[in-house]
A and B are shown apart, each in its own frame.
Chain A
């Protein structure tokens, strides 16, 4: 190698190292630019709104007034309880029914492809249509469900469950379960398929029963996927206002009013975006704490595995 070319190489080296380091950022930049300008900047502006009081003619700085108002807001208190109930109720059934479906679909059987396409279909149904379809099914004029419930003795007369504060929340929850099962089924089926079959062969040679294989092999392997999917779903459900908005609009008598629908109503019906932002801030903080806890849990799971 001549001296000249060696010199050339050393001169190039820093540029090269710099461009190597910059390469991943180059690929990431469109995504980051988009997220920062369309999500982060509005989010920060949104947070600043929560310290203001807006009205039609003037807006004034309100400090922590909006947050103080939250403490004595009984509607908000009920909405918190409803949010918990809505999230846990939907998530519980979505998860276990989705896990069951994933395990069923993992076994080979005749017509599995068709069955898979059919059972995953609800995921493709637009949420507003999910909401509409289920409220029609609960409608005694054109839907069968009230009559079925009546025949089974669950209801004393065939009326829609959406009209009674005691039962209304079940409407959106059932619709949400229907819509959400495929998400868990798809992700858990994918994770289940990536477990090497040798592990099951070894387990059955060692005399492990089906139940033992499930608890000792399947579940530990699925755990990281479960952690991340449950986390994402929890957050999505908790902030998900469409279904409830379409089916009950938070009623009757506020019985299906969750934080997400309450923010929506405060911001766009009551036009109080300062207060709406303060409530959204509460939800955001709760969700971020929850997300960080799950991420931490998942890390320790991965370390053990």
Chain B
């Protein structure tokens, strides 16, 4: 009996690690493959294209992309758009999330519902009107227009995130400070904000990734080469040089690097932050 249960336990352990392994493999393999093709010399691509690792490596693709294309420019544009959007959204959403978490007021349910319903708006429906409005105030074909739109689209979800982070901080902490003579804004600055920093970090990373990924708006609103974001640049690149796999993947890997670094640092806070108040309330 004892032997059997030990066997059983060993089996369930093996099953557990096998499942974990399968998830890791599934998650990593496509990224691994992109990196692999990006360092494969062009002459080996078709003979060894489907091997797990090529017999020779090269950095040519990277240097070609960096020196001969506009990718550094696209990269910078995407960085400007994503950083500005994530900071603006997090600031606005922190305020809104704080209001929804700490106050009881008439119209609160309506506001929450409105925020939730904005998530159902098909992007494609607002693109033509936005295109017209933005055109009339000169925001097409520049990065400000993109920042404005991305901000509006990310506010709702970011507000829910921030609300749940604020919900996770006991109200008593602020109340105690306010009894001790702090104003609400001092209590907010000295006590609540430091405790929400991980939550803000998570929100920033979430919005950053969303802005970094966006394609359709950028495709519609941006025409000139100097204003293109990475997603648009990569897609046009593919249209032009459809056969240069190595360079395409090198560019892709470079597009991946900032988000991956960002996300690797902040994904921990995403879980701990959400645990605190959770999407449960």
State in angstroms the CA–CA spacing of A151 and B67 once bound together.
Answer: 41
Q: Given A39-B121, A187-B279, A235-B119, A49–B264 Cβ distance below 8 Å?
A: no
Please tell me if the beta carbons of A30 and B92 are within 8 angstroms of each other in the complex.
Answer: yes
B213 in contact (CB, < 8 A)? yes
State in angstroms the CA–CA spacing of A123 and B262 once bound together.
Answer: 12
Min C-beta distance of A16 to chain B, whole Å? 13
Query: Which residues from A are CB-within-8-Å of B197?
Result: none
Min C-beta distance of A266 to chain B, whole Å? 9
State in angstroms the CA–CA spacing of A16 and B184 once bound together.
Answer: 14
Binds B, one of A7-15, A64-72, A139-147, A165-173: A139-147
Please tell me if the beta carbons of B93 and A31 are within 8 angstroms of each other in the complex.
Answer: yes
Please tell me if the beta carbons of B31 and A133 are within 8 angstroms of each other in the complex.
Answer: yes
B63 in contact (CB, < 8 A)? no
Pick from B116, B128, B262: contact of A276, CB below 8 A.
B128
Residue of A nearest to B277 (CB): A194
A239 in contact (CB, < 8 A)? yes
Min C-beta distance of B90 to chain A, whole Å? 12
Residue of A nearest to B246 (CB): A142
State in angstroms the CA–CA spacing of A202 and B213 once bound together.
Answer: 45
Q: Count how many chain A residues have C-beta atoms less than 8 Å from C-beta atoms of the other chain.
A: 93
Please tell me if the beta carbons of B103 and A24 are within 8 angstroms of each other in the complex.
Answer: yes
A99 in contact (CB, < 8 A)? no
Query: Which residues from A are CB-within-8-Å of B132?
Result: 45
Residue of B nearest to A229 (CB): B279
Query: Which residues from B are CB-within-8-Å of A189?
Result: 271
Please tell me if the beta carbons of A224 and B130 are within 8 angstroms of each other in the complex.
Answer: no
A79 in contact (CB, < 8 A)? no
State in angstroms the CA–CA spacing of A268 and B217 once bound together.
Answer: 12
Q: Count how many chain B residues have C-beta atoms less than 8 Å from C-beta atoms of the other chain.
A: 95
Pick from B98, B133, B238, B274: contact of A190, CB below 8 A.
B274
State in angstroms the CA–CA spacing of A37 and B215 once bound together.
Answer: 22
Please tell me if the beta carbons of A104 and B16 are within 8 angstroms of each other in the complex.
Answer: yes
Please tell me if the beta carbons of A34 and B92 are within 8 angstroms of each other in the complex.
Answer: yes
Please tell me if the beta carbons of B103 and A133 are within 8 angstroms of each other in the complex.
Answer: no
State in angstroms the CA–CA spacing of A246 and B30 once bound together.
Answer: 16
Pick from A25, A34, A186: contact of B151, CB below 8 A.
A34
Annotate B78-121 by CB proximity to A: 1 below 8 A, 0 otherwise: 00000000000001110110111011010010010111111111
Pick from A136, A182, A186: contact of B34, CB below 8 A.
A136
Q: Given A35-B118, A143-B33, A193–B128 Cβ distance below 8 Å?
A: no
Query: Which residues from B are CB-within-8-Å of A163?
Result: none
Please tell me if the beta carbons of A191 and B280 are within 8 angstroms of each other in the complex.
Answer: yes
Min C-beta distance of A151 to chain B, whole Å? 11
Min C-beta distance of A239 to chain B, whole Å? 5
Min C-beta distance of B138 to chain A, whole Å? 16
Q: Which 10 A-B pairs have the closest CB atoms?
A: A190-B274, A38-B152, A280-B125, A124-B263, A126-B213, A27-B99, A42-B129, A45-B129, A24-B103, A31-B96
14 residue pairs of the A-B complex, CB under 8 angstroms, read A31-B159, A35-B118, A38-B152, A118-B28, A119-B24, A121-B27, A121-B31, A130-B30, A144-B50, A147-B50, A190-B273, A239-B123, A277-B125, A277-B128
